Amino acid sequence: MGKLRALIFDVDGTLANTERDGHRVAFNRAFASSGLNWNWSVLLYGELLAIAGGKERIRFFIDEYRPDFEYPTDLDQFIADLHATKTRYYQQLVAEGCIPLRRGVKRLLKEAREQGMRLAIATTAALPNVTALLDHTLGSDSQSWFEVIAAGDIVPAKKPAPDVYHYVLKAMNLEAQDCLVFEDSHHGLLASSQAGLKTVVTVNTYTRYQNFSGALLVLNHLGEPDQPFTVFAGNAGDRIYLDMALAYHLHGK
Ligand code: XBP
Ligand code: MG
């Protein structure tokens, strides 16, 4: 077992609960402003999350839920434009402070940085959405905390394919065994485990009952000293929040 050299974070659902009150709302605003009478309810969006990537999700929705939709001549361009509008709405929501970081995230990042731990991001979401979230929650210099931010179309095959994780490992010149990943979803866990990476899962309402076999630990959140986590699977011993000591312990298992 190699030494722990890097933490790799997913963004949506992991750093922040972005999906229900962020991405979903932004999609709906983009539909409305584009004259489309589409509305993704909280429930429907849970189903659509099976498709990773905003552009891919829109295409899937058209194909599966809107058989009546008259395809524009250039469907790719139509989807790209709609998604660009959605991205602008999402950034507005983030700038308004609608999407806070999840419990324990800021504390763990701070401790990791103090120890000189290398950090990276591996996400399916588009890069401007990631940088907007980092800027507004962690400060304008926080992009530089992450040695690699692998986002959106940087790899053609999005999660659950492992490609984005392979990309990060290559860019950091690290082996899978050197890292610990933080994810929130079954798709994310599939991606990281297929790349051979050990993974901690912090679930959210959309992912609580997904299959997380193979995860080192499944938690409701990372916890804080005064707000302990709940362990859904795995063994955290007598720890009540995830700090670097627990990260090292889990990685060494
Ligand atoms: C995140 C996603 C993304 C966001 C939307 O998955 O599936 O598609 O919902 O982002 P993960 P964009 O957390 O597994 O990376 O609209 O920017 O694509
Ligand atoms: Mg996620």
11, amino acid identity: V
CATH number of the structural domain spanning residue 59: 1.10.150.240
Q: Is the pLDDT of residue 2 over 80?
A: no
Q: Using one digit for the tens of pLDDT, what is the confidence trace for 207-230?
A: 999 999 999 999 999 999 999 999
Q: Is the pLDDT of residue 86 over 70?
A: yes
Pocket mutation for ligand 1, best pick of 9, 11, 12 (most atoms within 8 Å of C-beta):
12
Tabulate helix, strand, coil % of the chain (nearest 5): 45, 15, 40
Handedness of CA 24, 128, 153, 213 (dihedral sign): negative
Q: Is the pLDDT of residue 64 over 70?
A: yes
CATH number of the structural domain spanning residue 225: 3.40.50.1000
Per DSSP bridges, beta strands 179-183 and 118-122 are unpaired
Q: Which residues, at least 6 apart from 179, have a Cβ–Cβ distance to it below 8 Å?
A: 4, 5, 6, 7, 8, 169, 197, 198
Instruction: Tell me how far the alpha carbon of residue 35 lies from the centroid of ligand 1, in angstroms.
Output: 23
Average pLDDT, integer, range 5-14: 98
Q: Using one digit for the tens of pLDDT, what is the confidence trace for 107-117?
A: 999 999 999 99
**Could you tell me the two tokens for 154?**
């940087």
Asked if residue 26 and residue 137 are part of one domain, the reply reads no
Quote the mean pLDDT of the chain: 96
Q: pLDDT-derived band of residue 1, with 50, 70 and 90 as boundaries?
A: low
Asked if residue 79 and residue 125 are part of one domain, the reply reads no
DSSP code of residue 58:
H
Query: Which residue, by CA, sits nearest to atom 7 of ligand 1?
Result: 52
Asked if residue 162 and residue 54 are part of one domain, the reply reads no
Sheet holding 6-9, edge to edge: 148-150, 118-122, 6-9, 179-183, 198-202, 217-219, 231-234
Three-point CA angle 37, 32, 95, nearest 5° = 145
Asked if residue 58 and residue 89 are part of one domain, the reply reads yes
Q: Is the pLDDT of residue 161 over 90?
A: yes
Domain termination site, one of 44, 65, 95: 95
Q: Using one digit for the tens of pLDDT, what is the confidence trace for 180-191?
A: 999 999 999 999
Torsion angle in degrees (nearest 10) through CA of 141, 143, 144, 149: 180
Q: Name every protein residue with a CB atom under 6 angstroms from any ligand 1 atom.
A: 10-13, 19, 23, 52-54, 123-126, 129, 159, 185, 187-188
